[in-house]
Structure 1
Amino acid sequence: MNHEQTSSASSWGFLSSDGKFLPVSALTTKSLEYASKSIIELQQLIESYILTEEYEKCAVIRDEIIRRQHAN
């Protein structure tokens, strides 16, 4: 494997529906299920999880939103 192939492997990731690139190295097992969602979709999920009192899921999504906002 040459240097070009090695460096391109480090840029693997997912694009969320709002166009944010999420590198694989930044994802966790908890945040992986939210990788394809936009920030707006994540905020809507938080609202629905608050209604059903699923606060651990809210915290994971909140952390994902914060991470994406700081990545800009």
Structure 2
Amino acid sequence: MTIEVYRINPQTGARTEVRSKHTVKPATVPDLSSGYPPCACPNCKGKGSRGRLQFLVADANRRSRGEA
């Protein structure tokens, strides 16, 4: 795959290069995983995403029962 980034002037149609052409070689072994990488946001960082979800569900249940 080859990619090149350029900007087009709407008045003149002139093409200005932003990034030169770059060719990427295909992977030798395809990634067969359908999962997303772990979340790196400040709320989840250092915790597993499952741990964060369990915390949120437990908190919602606690609030629905009127517990503080």
**Greater helix fraction, Structure 1 or Structure 2:** 1
TM over 0.5: no
**Greater strand fraction, Structure 1 or Structure 2:** 2
Higher RCO, 1 or 2 (CA under 8 Å, sep at least 6)?
1
Give TM-score scaled by structure 1 length.
0.28
